[in-house]
Chain A
Amino acid sequence: MHKFARFMESSISFKRILIKIFFFGIVFINLLDTAHAYIGPGAGFAFLSSFFILFVTFALAIFYLLSWPLRYIIKGLFRKNRAKSDTKKVIIIGLDGMDPNLAEEFMRKGEMPNFQKLKDEGTFNKLATSYPSISPVAWSSFMTGVDPSHHNIFDFITRDPCTYQPMLTSAEIGKASKVLPIGKYMIPLSKPKMKLLRKSQPFWKILGKFGIFSSILRVPITFPPEEFNGVSLSGMCVPDLKGSQGTFSHYTTDAKRINVETGGESRLVEIKDDAILTHLHGPDNSLIKNGEEMTLPIKIKIDRENKRAKIEVSGQSFELEPRTYSPWIKVAFKPGLTIKVNGICRFYINEMEDGFDMYVTPINIDPEEPALPISHPFVYSIYLAKLIGSFGTLGLAEDTWALNEGVIDEESFLEQSYLLYEEREKMFLSALEKTPKGLCACVFDTTDRVQHMFFRCLEESHPANRGKEVEKYRNVIEDMYIKMDVLIGKVIQKLDDKTALFVISDHGFTQFKRGINLNTWLFKEGYLVLKEGKTTSGDWFESVDWNKSRAFSLGLAGIFINRKGREISGLVEEGQELKDLKQELISKLTGLIDEQTSQVSINEVIDTDATHGGPYKYDAPDLLIGYNAGYRSSWTCAVGQITESVFEDNTKHWSGDHCVDPKIVPGVLFSNLKVSKTDPHLIDMAPTVLKLFGINIPTYMQGSPLLENTRIQNNEK
């Protein structure tokens, strides 16, 4: 208190001095003969900028106000007509992975009063998900109203039929097609190649054609951003600055901790005179022929007395205490020719007393100076960053691999996840305000990532609990659901009788205790053949003999047949041979027993060709696997390895999953409206929103509206 009083006193006396200086200065200036008109650039900066800004904004405002009737008329001429609708606004909150069973349990305990209110006054139901029940697939079905064979997204990754190597399913990002070689430089003459591989169209594009504005935030598979009437910020599948789906950096003095295998890079550092010199590794230099990875020096000065470190990077300097995240730090890599590639990352010191250990998040694309377009219009991410401050832009921003690899612990993972959540909540609430009519949709990933990493704590016997704390984190998921309830509460307050609210999830959750390596099973059964003398294979089918292999698995969704005419070394003929092989595999895999647990590991296997009718089924996995609860494609199988055993315990922090039989993991559907359809499906969301706005549902859409009538009629009913 005494210190506070002294501080206040000194601050007051300082203010008095300032006031005296100010008045003295004013008198002084007024006495000057010629200088009274000018008090320097200081005043120039402040007043010129202010008046300029005021002038510009006033001019813009007047222009927009005066041109509004004209724009209204022009838009009206080109706008498609729709039926009269009582719905002014639709809000969709996507809580990725929210599980209906857990939601029900927590509502029953009275911990989610806002969800309970929606259930009591509107709707709560399970929402059937896509096959396979993987986020990019499910959210693509949500936005297009069609199944994966119509939108072309069956998994995160697929195989390149020419090389059998993995490639992203959602987007293709390549170098500029035209370059001008000058000396060592390769000057791009065209934009880098960027193509969204998701087919069909999101329903907000249709809304736009009818003059309805949409704000779409972080919905997966919206990168690269598409043009439509509204604003959007891309979500899942936005890469980091290195072009990966998230590569963290780890710096340690402990040689035993240099064992990161996936998701990041670990580097050994040395302390000399309490200082560390190392580098932040950025993207490859695409401006130079065979350009190497660009780096930025990092200088760390350890202040042991004050228990903090001073970090210098990219021309900035900041102090950081151990076990605290730095704010987003801007970093700029310089490939040459005065070009800058801007990114942002957070620093986190794990240990400083006994050695040194620091984690740096993947370098996100800087939303304020984006190296790639991550929003529509391009300036929307810049606008958001200026309005709410810098924010994580990486698709999978919560660094699950850093926790899996033990580079950060549970506490720091949670802190990171909630820092990201807060950014998204801010941008969502802002978007809600800026969308007084039309559609406002936002997907929150926190629910998915936290459940993936802490689901083990809901089941004592989970293999991932070995050597890890369980009790301490038992309520993490429950607490997160409560946090989501608070968000829903904030949104409910903004509802009126012309606004429809839907809270949905793309899938639910279940335990991931045992992994199945389908490649190993295929090898053991003779469908996948290894090169002479090999009994196992490294990543990405390193030792596979493609000239003899008939089937393989990559990613999480299922099995590809090595088809003649499709895969480069395909040997299975189209027609009866293919049909027979698929049937053989289906009958062998359905009901596959895990001998260690005596449980059925695979409930069903789906023939994609037989069950899907869309134009993109040809390139899809030929068989989709419906794993039983507790099972999933193993980590090794997903990356094309062949191991010794088919089944393995999942001991990673990533202990919950949903890449199973979709019937086991439906999502949730909450609404302030009473939904009439008894078996709602994700693909019903697009037609529902179109109907609410009085728009005819396109015939290609496979879903049907959840509501029989329009909103007000529905309420009366």
Chain B
Amino acid sequence: MTYINLVLNNIFNLIVSPFKNISPIWSLIFFSLLVAILMLLIFRSTSNQTKIKETKSKIRAYIYELSLFKDELGIVLSAQKNVLFQNLKYMKYALKPMIFMIIPLALILIQLDSLYGHKPLDPKESTIVSLKLSEDSKIPDRISIKSDGGLSIETPPLRIPKDNQVDWRIKAQELGEHNLIFNVQDQEYQKMVIVGDQGIIRITPTVSTPNFWNNLLNPGQKPLAKGGLVKEIHVDYKRNSIGVFKWRLDWLVILFVLSIVFAFSMKGLFKVEI
């Protein structure tokens, strides 16, 4: 998975590089376009296009029926029933391509979430850093944290035995990528913290011990060493939002709307029945 992440990270970094210093909405529009094209291609090749076309035609026919025979209550109700039935059929035909879309789309979404999902710390902004120990370990007495610069530690460790967790509050002091260095019973762990004010920056809030899911879901940073005392380190970045006209929206909402708009407008070009 590490290699897959490496490849994907590079690809996405490459795609995003021309948009680095402009508003993230532009790169998101571009990604929406790519996602739409990819999904159209998958939809076309994995769905039963004939059946989908037939079902959609029937749905439209029954909608016409509602107005053509509007004075016949029986026909209006029967058309309504038929629309519902055909709709279920349509959803059945859309299920197979959806299954094929899940994996590539999940990989894309994880990548995009690491690019757009979280806001780097602003200078002078405070946040909580949590260190979670592995289940069979108790919180040791000797546990410390320090920064290699650019961050200050505001509080002593707060031990939460119930969760096997230790928290600190840190404060961003300077722009840049800084490391927090944890010492847990002489074992050293590092977690990168990003302090920035503009542009698209890849952020991985959580770093954890290596396993398939952890590696998959946290593509931006190398996992922690296996067999250590620490299971997970998490920096509590704020969720990011992107400005669109007057509103600020989550990237996922923008991608959802735009990819659907692009897909519907390009379905003729790609000859896809959706």
Contacts from A to B (Cβ < 8 Å): 18, 21-22, 25-26, 28-29, 31-35, 37-50, 53-54, 56-58, 60-61, 64-65, 68, 71-72, 75, 213, 231, 315, 377, 379-380, 382-387, 389, 434, 436
B209 nearest CB across to chain A (Å)? 16
A285 and B199 alpha carbons, distance in the complex (Å): 54
B131 nearest CB across to chain A (Å)? 19
Task: Say yes or no: B83 contacts A54, CB within 8 Å.
Answer: yes
Query: What residues of B have a CB within 8 angstroms of the CB of A315 in the complex?
Result: 271
Query: What residues of B have a CB within 8 angstroms of the CB of A42 in the complex?
Result: 39, 42-43, 94, 97-98, 101, 105
A29 and B69 alpha carbons, distance in the complex (Å): 44
The 3 closest A-B pairs by CB, nearest first: A46-B94, A25-B102, A386-B61
Is B91's beta carbon under 8 Å from chain A? yes
Given contacts A34-B109, A38-B252, contact A54 B87 (CB under 8 A): yes
A-B contact pairs, 22 of them (CB 8 A): A21-B103, A33-B217, A35-B252, A37-B252, A40-B98, A40-B101, A42-B43, A42-B101, A44-B263, A45-B43, A46-B90, A57-B62, A61-B79, A68-B73, A379-B64, A383-B64, A386-B58, A387-B57, A387-B65, A389-B57, A434-B65, A434-B69
Is B163's beta carbon under 8 Å from chain A? no
Q: Which residue of the partner chain, among A22, A33, A379, contacts B113 with CB atoms under 8 Å?
A: A33
Task: Say yes or no: A64 contacts B70, CB within 8 Å.
Answer: yes
Task: Say yes or no: B87 contacts A38, CB within 8 Å.
Answer: no
A352 nearest CB across to chain B (Å)? 26
A35 and B60 alpha carbons, distance in the complex (Å): 32
Is B96's beta carbon under 8 Å from chain A? yes
Task: Say yes or no: B72 contacts A60, CB within 8 Å.
Answer: no
Given contacts A57-B63, A380-B68, A434-B72, contact A50 B87 (CB under 8 A): yes
B76 nearest CB across to chain A (Å)? 5
A34-B113, A42-B105 are known; give 16 further A-B pairs, CB within 8 A.
A18-B99, A21-B103, A25-B99, A34-B109, A39-B101, A42-B94, A43-B94, A50-B87, A57-B63, A58-B80, A61-B66, A61-B77, A64-B67, A68-B71, A68-B73, A386-B64
Of the candidate stretches B144-152, B165-173, B225-233, B254-262, the one touching chain A is: B254-262
Is B7's beta carbon under 8 Å from chain A? no
Residue in A21, A32, A386 whose Cβ sees the most chain B Cβ within 10 Å: A386
Is B110's beta carbon under 8 Å from chain A? yes
A38 and B256 alpha carbons, distance in the complex (Å): 7
Q: Which residue of the partner chain, among B39, B91, B106, contacts A32 with CB atoms under 8 Å?
A: B106
Q: Classify the secondary structure of B's interface with A.
A: helix
A71 and B63 alpha carbons, distance in the complex (Å): 20
B96 nearest CB across to chain A (Å)? 7
Given contacts A25-B102, A41-B263, contact A57 B79 (CB under 8 A): yes
Q: Which residue of the partner chain, among B77, B217, B256, contacts A31 with CB atoms under 8 Å?
A: B217
Is B194's beta carbon under 8 Å from chain A? no
Query: What residues of A have a CB within 8 angstroms of the CB of B68 in the complex?
Result: 231, 377, 379-380, 383, 434
Is B117's beta carbon under 8 Å from chain A? yes
A68 and B71 alpha carbons, distance in the complex (Å): 7
Is B213's beta carbon under 8 Å from chain A? yes
Closest to A68 in B: B73
Task: Say yes or no: B213 contacts A35, CB within 8 Å.
Answer: no
B63 nearest CB across to chain A (Å)? 6
Is B59's beta carbon under 8 Å from chain A? yes
Task: Say yes or no: B105 contacts A40, CB within 8 Å.
Answer: yes
A34 and B108 alpha carbons, distance in the complex (Å): 12
The A-contacting residues of B in range 232-272, CB under 8 angstroms, are 250, 252, 255-256, 259-260, 263-264, 271
